[in-house]
Amino acid sequence: MRTLCLLVPVALAFLAGCEPDPGAGKTRIRYMAWGNPEALDLEQRLCDEFNARNPDIHVSFLKVPQSAYLNKAIVMFASRTAPDVVRIDHFNFPSLVRKDYFLNLSPLIARDPEFKSTDYFPATLDEGRYKGDIFGMNVLFGAILIYYNKTMFQKAGLEDPYELYRKGEWTYERMRQSAIRLSKTDQNGRPTQFGLILPPWPLTVPIVWAFGGEVLSPDMTQSRLDSPGTAKAFQFLTDLRWKDKASPTPSQAANSAFPFESGKVGMEFNWMGQSVRYRKVATSFEWDVVPVPRGPAGNPTILKGNQLVIYRETRQPEAAWRFVKFITGDYVERLLYVQRRRSFPTRKAIAGSKEFLETKERPFNTKAFVDSIANGRPLPINHRWGEWTNASNAEIDALFSGRSRNAKAVMAEAHRKAAKVLADEEGF
Amino acid sequence: MIGRIAVYMLLILGAVLFSVPFFWLVSTALKSSQEYAADPGALIPKSLAWDNFGKAWTALPFPRFVANTVFVTLICTVAQVVTGSLVAYGFSRFEFRSRNALFYTMLATMMLPGQVTMIPVFLIWRQLGAIDTFFPLIIPAFFGGGAFNIFLLRQFFLGIPRELDEAAMMSGASYLTIWWHILLPLSRPAIATVAVFSFLGNWDAFEGPLIYLNSPEKYTVAVGLRMFQDSFGTNFEQVMAASLVHILPAVILFFCAQRYFLKGINLSGLGGR
Amino acid sequence: MASRLARHQARWGFAFILPWLLGFLIFTAGPMLASLYLSFTKYDLHSSQWVGTENYRRLFQEDPLFWKALDNTVRYAVFSVPLGVIGSLAIAILLNQNVRGQRLFRTLFYLPSLVPAVASALLWQWIFNADNGILNTALGVIGIAPIEWLQNEQWTLPAFVLMSLWGVGGGRMVIFLAGLQGIPDSYYEAARIDGASPWIQFRRVTLPMLSPVMFFNVILGVIGSFQIFTSSYIMTGGGPNNASLFYALYLFRNAFEYFKLGKASALAWVLFLILLVLTFIQFRMSKRWVYYEGATS
């Protein structure tokens, strides 16, 4: 009984909330984004900065764990309790935008004298387009490039990949040779070092393009997984693992036995944003970046960002738009991409600025960043991405798990499955 | 004698089998990032990175999360045990026309996967204005506390002979008196079981807090733990450290709850049957 | 007189279950019916359209993944439920013996069930590692070649069954333990006086007295094993090649990744019906082997 009496006031205290209300009397908007604790701290700082600069608005930040982010976002949108400004991964944007969850930003843009579309890289704005209008601004934009272990290359007497790139000799064949040379086993035959970690889907797409293959048709409605270049690309990767043994098998790579930061891997395809983490954990060796190698059809890489959207039924569209402009504006981009070097700015001026190009922290080859963006194509994400990629990847998995070494046959089957999904009448 | 040796051997073998992976968890929690990257499988860390716990604890406002979780869990556990045993009493000791139909309906609620009712249930709470409060997490505990607990207690109650009930009724005891003074004491292990499960279920609950709580200061430990994961690499060591801290109260609770499982406390009133 | 008493206790009985009934009517019945309705529509969180039994027809006739998911789940249940129930019973009996350090042993056996899902997934990926995982190392000692547990289609389901067994010292065991505690010593004494061996005591005293909780564990084991989700979601994503695509995972994907809520609801109700039938059969069969000391009818 006594404990119950104790609980009641505690309960009331909890339910009422113990802190004074900082947003009293102001226009309130809510903002939601994901990240690890440091990233979330950063977002909170940005919100605080915005609140300081805009005393008539108060932004409160909803922190959500990334692995459950989509789940929560969907429940919020479906129940019409969504926050005013939400960050949406581009993997999900095409499917969510057509549910009328997001506010059309084009009218806001047209009305706004401050906003200039030409400030931004066209690719970043195009990502957020739906039926011609802009429904999201771009954040955490970047491309795929190769992280390489400089120290390992030097020790093996191999030429630095970035030097090769500058000379125009950084091809997939060169990469393969380097990977083979860098892969070592000990006297018991156990691998101690690998040249390359095979990229997981969708980081394999640059390789597909480089070999002249395609993934989807230009209008993103049909599968092109059966194109000859695609099969060639996957055969290249399959052989790299099983014939050249330059890449760990799934069981060898399991449990993070060979992460890049362990220093036991020569090269890795990864997003620009990873550099933040590698700066912290890859400290026992020198590393840097180089754009993806050149294949018979060039060296395109994939571009992908995330959309910052405004909830369509927001009660504060103007305030929300001011916040969105702030996050994609000069101050924040300078802080995130120049100071913190998180990935790549969406504003051209920042990307071209001296402060961005000259850096005291790894990776030093910032031109690799710039060139990758220039050579990038958007990752073909359509609104059925999850479904058709699950179907095709279940097949493609055979190549990487060793069940089959014949990329042509596997890709034909993967194409069949993806095509079936894409052709199915929607909604069923 | 041989029997006892065999028992001890089996116990030790089993205990080792079951707890070794758990100790890997502990050892991972004590490794530094570099050490984990270098040798993730090692059972004994070379150096004890106690600051993993510190980092895990301070990276997010865990004390606040723990307070929230304790609050929700305590209320729910008490409510679930009380209302659950009342409902189980009804299903096991009484006959009324709709009893079986309602009992099967209750069981049936466990058979529909929760994902498809998640949004409709959320909409109900939204109508009640309870989003971003603890109410959606606490209130259901007062309505019987879930089919699992009710079914379990019903099975236990059905195993208790009715002689005591009948004797008490003849002395004029009310149904509630029988429930409180006879059934509950006789089912101490079952009640302890339900209490422990209830506690653990609420302590670990993730989906509910995730979708119903918006303000970070209301988050529970389970949600906070998940926040460690991100797309730019998981700090396994810190995840393990945070997991350990999360598990610790549960381990202590379980260890202490054992005293309700001592043989011989029960059915002392029925000697000589 | 008798019927007044009967009506009196009937009213009280109903009153006691009222908390559950109210909760059910307010929070559960509506959503359940809503999902039933949805299963007859095409709904993507934006627009809905009535399609009658088309979702069900497509599931049964045009969806190989449905059958694969069902097959995986049934096979998982067929192995993990009996092994789990028998295993946890055996461990409960073991842990019920009066030994020193009983509390410690019980806690050690229970530890695995306390580990949160994410940590558990990491743990098991380490155990199942084909090259240096502890399982293959142990098997190697007996001379068995390393198995690619989570990378090989054939071994994935066995891996998940094995994982379920690690929890065998968990909830089910505790429930059996509580059940064992509830058996009065006097029954065993009476049996011993009659000259019954330990095995006869087990068969004639322990098992019947345990049958109510055994029944509980079997029913819940079946219901639970058909809804296995988290471990495959975190560890294998349903692979390799859909070998670990369990029913609940397939349902989740259709609901939250493909936004096919009509189909997801249909999947849910198919599972519901399967479980309903299975549970009904078990209840029927229970009349033959489950013994309730305190039952009236």
Here the tokens at position A86 are 């939400």
All residues of chain C having their beta carbon less than 8 Å from the beta carbon of residue A387 are 257-258
Q: What backbone phi and psi angles, to 5 degrees, belong to A33?
A: -155, 170
DSSP per residue over B217-229, as a string? GG--HHHHHHTT-
pLDDT of residue B270: 31
* A37–B60 C-beta distance less than 8 A: yes
Least CB–CB distance from B214: residue in A17, A62, A283: A62
Tokens (6 digits) for C113: 């069930």
Subunit contact B193:C276, Cβ cutoff 8 A: no
The pLDDT value given to residue C141? 87
What is d(CA C9, CA B141) in angstroms, rounded to the nearest whole number? 26
Query: Quick one: tokens of B204?
Result: 């670990």
Confidence of residue B269 (pLDDT cuts 50, 70, 90): very low
C256:A71 CB<8 A: yes
Closest-approach residue (CA) in chain C for A78 = C45
Per-residue pLDDT at A4: 52
Q: What is the dihedral of CA C268, C274, C280, C282, to 10 degrees?
A: -120
Q: CB neighbours (10 Å) of residue A337? A: 25
A: neighbours with 3+ CB pairs under 8 Å? Answer: B, C
- Find chain C residues with C-beta within 8 A of A250's C-beta: 148, 151
Give B232's pLDDT tier (boundaries 50, 70, 90).
very low
pLDDT (0 to 100) of residue B173:
86
pLDDT of residue B234: 55
Neighbours of chain C (3+ CB pairs under 8 A): A, B
B175 and chain A: CB distance < 8 Å anywhere?
no
Residue A173 contacts by C-beta under 8 Å, 6 or more apart in sequence? Answer: none
The whole-chain average pLDDT of chain B stands at: 83
pLDDT for residue A15: 53
pLDDT at B39: 64
Q: Kindly state the average pLDDT of the residues B251-271.
A: 60
Whole-angstrom Cα distance, residue C297 to residue A394?
Answer: 54
Residue A241 to residue A258: CA distance in whole angstroms = 14
Predicted complex ipTM = 0.90
pLDDT for residue B17: 84
- pLDDT, tens digit, for every residue of C202-256? 888 899 999 999 999 999 999 999 999 988 998 898 888 899 999 999 999 999 9
| Distance, CA of B113 to CA of B115 (rounded, Å) | 6
Range among A87-96, B54-63, B229-238, C115-124 with highest mean pLDDT value:
A87-96
Q: DSSP secondary-structure letter at A216?
A: B
B265, pLDDT greater than 50: no
What does the pLDDT read at residue A256? 67
The more confident residue out of C297 and B106 is: B106
Note whether B48 contacts C: Cβ–Cβ < 8 A: no
Mean pLDDT for B249-265 is 73
Going by DSSP bridges, is the β-strand pair A27-34/A85-89 parallel, antiparallel, or unpaired? parallel
Angle between helices C171-181 and C207-225 (to 10 degrees): 160
SS3 C42: strand
Taking Cα atoms as reference points, which of A210, A208, A176 lies closest to residue A195? A176
| Contact by Cβ (8 Å): B29, B53 | yes
Q: Quick check: A230 pLDDT over 50?
A: yes
Q: How far is A341 from chain B (nearest CA, A)?
A: 14
Q: What is the pLDDT of residue A254?
A: 67
Residue B34's pLDDT band (boundaries 50, 70, 90)?
Answer: low
Per-residue pLDDT reduced to its tens digit, B175-190: 988 899 888 888 888 8
- Residues A297-319 have a mean pLDDT of 95
In the predicted structure, residue B159 carries a pLDDT above the cut 90: no
| Cα–Cα distance, A330 to C22 (Å, whole number) | 56
How crowded is the C-beta side of A363, counted as CA atoms within 13 Å? Answer: 29
The residue type found at A423 is A
The rounded mean pLDDT for chain C is 90
Q: Which chain B residue has its CA at the smallest distance from C115's CA?
A: B247
Give the residue from A74, A130, A390, A404 with the most C CB atoms within 10 Å of its CB, the best one to mutate.
Answer: A390
Rounded Cα distance, B24 and B47, in Å:
14
List, for residues C14-70, the tens digit of each pLDDT value. Answer: 999 999 999 999 999 999 999 999 999 999 988 899 999 999 999 999 999 999 999
Q: Can you read off the two tokens belonging to residue C4? A: 């007044």
All partners of chain B with 3 or more CB pairs under 8 angstroms: A, C
Q: Which of B37, B74, B227 sits opposite A281 (nearest CB)?
A: B37
Phi-psi category of residue C77: left, alpha or beta, with phi > 0 → left and psi -120 to 50 → alpha:
alpha
Is the pLDDT reported for residue C294 higher than 50? yes
Of residues C261 and A252, more confidently modeled: C261
pLDDT band at B230 (very low <50, low <70, confident <90, very high): very low
Give CA–CA dist C118/C230, Å, rounded. Answer: 9
pLDDT of B51 higher than 90: no
Q: How confident is the model at residue B38 (pLDDT cuts 50, 70, 90)?
A: low
> Does residue A344 carry a pLDDT above 80?
yes
Q: What is the DSSP letter of A265?
A: E
Over residues C55-109, the pLDDT tens digits come to 999 999 999 999 999 999 999 999 999 999 999 999 998 888 888 888 888 888 9
The least confident of A289-293, B32-36, B75-79, C97-101 is B32-36
Task: Read off the tokens for A153.
Answer: 């290359």
Q: Which range, A66-80, A82-96, B233-247, is most confident?
A: A82-96
Strands A133-134 and A287-290: unpaired
Cβ(C76)–Cβ(C212) below 8 Å: no
| pLDDT at residue A159 greater than cutoff 50 | yes
DSSP codes of every residue in A30-60: EEEEE--HHHHHHHHHHHHHHHHH-TTEEEE
Q: What is the pLDDT of residues A166-190, one digit of tens each?
A: 999 999 999 999 999 999 988 888 8
Q: Which of B34, B220, B227 would you mutate first to test chain A, the one with the most A CBs within 10 A?
A: B227
What distance in Å separates residue B49's CA from the closest CA in chain A? 15
Instruction: Give the pLDDT band (50/70/90) at residue B273.
Output: very low
CA dihedral A413, A414, A417, A418 (to 10 degrees): -150
As a dihedral over the C-alpha atoms of residue C84, residue C89, residue C91, residue C95, rounded to 10 degrees, the angle is: 150
CB-CB neighbors (< 8 A) of B231 in chain A:
66, 273
Contact between chains at A403 and C256 (C-beta distance less than 8 A)? no
Contact between C268 and B116 under an 8 Å Cβ cutoff? The reply is yes
How many Å apart are CA B100 and CA A172, to the nearest integer? 70
**Which one is predicted more confidently, C137 or A94?**
A94
Mean predicted confidence (pLDDT) in A222-250: 93
Measured between alpha carbons, how far is A278 from A275 in angstroms, rounded to an integer? 5
* pLDDT (0 to 100) of residue A218: 93
